[in-house]
Amino acid sequence: MKPRYDVIIVGAGPAGTTCARYAAARGASVLVLEKDRDVGMPVRCGEAVSNRSLESIVPIDPRWIAATIKRFRLISPSGHIVEPDLGGYGYVLERRIFDYDLARLAVEAGAEVHTKCYVDDLLRATPASHAEGKAIPATDPAPGTTADNAQDGAWKGVSYQWKGERRTVEGRIIVAADGVESRVGKWAGIDTTTHMRDMETCAQMTISNVDLEDDACEFYFGNDTAPMGYLWVFPKGHGMANVGVGISGMASKKTAAIRYLRRFIDQRFPDAAVLTTVAGGVPCATTVGTLVQRNVVLVGDAAHQVNPLSGGGITSGMIGGKLAGEAIAMAIEKNDLSLLNNYPKQWRKEIGAKHDTYYRMKAAVYKFPDATLDDIAINVLKLREDKRTIWGVFRTALRHQPALVWEMVKTFGLK
Ligand SMILES: Cc1cc2nc3c(=O)[nH]c(=O)nc-3n(C[C@H](O)[C@H](O)[C@H](O)COP(=O)(O)OP(=O)(O)OC[C@H]3O[C@@H](n4cnc5c(N)ncnc54)[C@H](O)[C@@H]3O)c2cc1C
């Protein structure tokens, strides 16, 4: 490890390694520090992604794919099954292989990745030690940046623990890619708090000995199954599946997510063997208000770049990582840190504004009582089969929430 890099990225998840790959490929010197001994382990994820969004960021390696999903089944509280045509397909990944490979691709692009390095603080720079980059202007901040972008008070690196030793390393830009439990953003003074109602509490088991169609994902809704959330069954091939539940933090105060999950598995897959049980949180909120502050940049779950409606954060975090990586490389190349402000602008344009709308839709959908969800399913099933698209489902849902109409027309161009 060198004493100094252009960029230090904290966390080797998909967002961090994608940011590293894009920044390094354009000439920045990049260091990724990961606290765990294995990149991508333990896997706390249902591993489902859409083919289109993944393909837009990385060439897909077939080794990453456990199952290709052609059918998506939405199951209402009373058991009505709607199978909308999503106009695309999905993958259930093998994240153990996927996350490793994203790190490998970052290294091939020129980044250094070090594991077992637990970052425990930021190093404050004196004004002089940070003088080589231009100050980020204090006025007219881009959306997602603060006006408080003074030159002094920027950070000059991080301290980290490695095999019981405390070490430091310097970097001109620090990237917080440290996931849902991110602390780097907070250390830099950024408000990354997630309200309890928006923090999905998840529990998931990877099970074997199940008889499933390998090309169909199932999503169960209802107050008894997954209050303010949903339960998923994602096949992984060879009689295996990721079965998990995500419920709002408000709901989990009454009954823990794991209890809904156990009950479902006992009933639906009584002969299954449980190979892994994991729990974790997903910030199903809008993107944090400040993506860039001084020389600190937030990506992925640390920036709340998860799709708030679906809870999927793999590809959206990678897109955040890519946009941040490109802005970082440009800022380093031009020796102008104000160019970091392109990242929040691009994020908002490509995804952030849509996530705001998904967030409002989530808030409305989660208030639907079970009877409304059943009613929507029954009415969708009355549609001609070719009209049973995801928009057909939404249009039917709209009748129950007229306030959503305008939002959806704006976002999706529905007529
Ligand atoms: C149960 C569950 C199921 C999910 N299912 C899906 C799904 O099916 N599809 C989907 O798209 N998304 C899913 N998600 C969300 C998805 O897993 C995350 O959005 C995604 O992993 C975010 O990537 P990231 O790189 O931002 O963070 P992470 O993948 O969490 O990576 C952050 C990394 O930072 C490291 N780190 C943290 N702190 C430090 C530190 N101080 N020093 C050094 N390293 C540190 C961590 O060890 C970790 O490796 C699920 C989440 C959960 C909990």
What mean pLDDT do residues 284-294 have?
96
**Ligand 1 close to Cβ of residue 202 (< 6 A):** yes
pLDDT for the residue 136 = 39
Residue 94, pLDDT > 80, answer: yes
> What does the pLDDT read at residue 400?
64
Q: How far is the CA of 149 from the centre of ligand 1 (A)?
A: 29
- Say how far apart CA 374 and CA 400 lie, in whole Å: 12
In the structure, what pLDDT confidence band is assigned to residue 408 with cuts at 50, 70 and 90? Answer: low
The side-by-side arrangement of strands in the sheet containing 90-93 is 48-50, 90-93, 65-69
171: Cβ below 6 Å to ligand 1? no
Instruction: Please tell me the number of Cα atoms within 13 Å of 406 on its side-chain side.
Output: 1
Assess whether the C-beta atom of 32 lies below 6 angstroms from ligand 1: no
- At 270 the pLDDT is 96
Task: Please report which confidence band the pLDDT of residue 189 belongs to, taking 50, 70 and 90 as the band edges.
Answer: very high
- Tell me what percent of the residues of the chain surpass a pLDDT of 90: 75
For 131-160, write each residue's pLDDT tens digit. Answer: 444 433 333 344 444 434 334 348 999 999
Q: For 388-404, what is the mean pLDDT?
A: 71
pTM, 2 dp: 0.91
Q: CA 23, CA 33: separation in Å to the nearest integer?
A: 15
pLDDT in tens, 38-79: 998 888 899 999 999 999 999 999 999 999 999 999 999 999
What pLDDT is attached to residue 135?
39
CA of 301 relative to ligand 1 center, distance in Å: 7
Per-residue pLDDT at 202 exceeds 60: yes
Is 235 close to ligand 1, i.e. is its CB under 6 Å away? no
Residue-level pLDDT at 216: 96
CA 283 to centroid of ligand 1, rounded, Å: 11
Ligand 1 contact via 229 beta carbon (within 6 Å): no
Q: Is the CB of 398 under 6 A from ligand 1?
A: no
pLDDT at 395 over 50: yes
- Mode of pairing for the β-strands spanning 216-222 and 71-75: parallel
Write the CB contacts of 284 (distance below 8 Å, at least 6 apart in sequence): 198, 199, 200, 306, 308, 309, 311, 359, 362
Q: Report how far ligand 1's centroid is from the alpha carbon of 312 (Å).
A: 10
Better pLDDT: 142 or 99: 99
Mean of the per-residue pLDDT values of the chain: 89
Q: Ligand 1: which of 43, 44, 187, 288 to mutate, judged by most atoms within 8 Å of the beta carbon?
A: 44
> Is residue 33 within 6 Å of ligand 1 at its C-beta?
yes
Is residue 16 lining ligand 1, measured as CB closer than 6 Å?
Answer: yes
Mean of the pLDDT values across residues 317-322?
Answer: 98
Ligand 1 pocket, 92 CB below 6 A? no
pLDDT at 138: 33
Please name the residue that has the structure tokens 């029954």: 378
Residue 316 CA, closest ligand 1 atom number = 11
- The confidence score (pLDDT) of residue 242 equals 98
Task: Please tell me the predicted confidence (pLDDT) of residue 156.
Answer: 95
**Pocket probe mutation, ligand 1, options 21, 33, 45, max atoms within 8 Å of Cβ:** 45
pLDDT tens digits along 334-356: 999 999 999 999 999 999 999 99
Atom of ligand 1 lying closest to residue 15 CA? 25
Higher local confidence (pLDDT), 164 or 144: 164
Q: How far apart are CA 381 and CA 407, in angstroms?
A: 25
315 pLDDT above the threshold of 70: yes
pLDDT per residue as tens digits for the range 355-385: 998 998 888 888 889 998 898 888 888 888 8
Q: How confident is the model at residue 127 (pLDDT cuts 50, 70, 90)?
A: low
Indicate the length of the chain as a whole number: 415
Please give the Cα distance from 252 to 272 (Å, whole number): 25
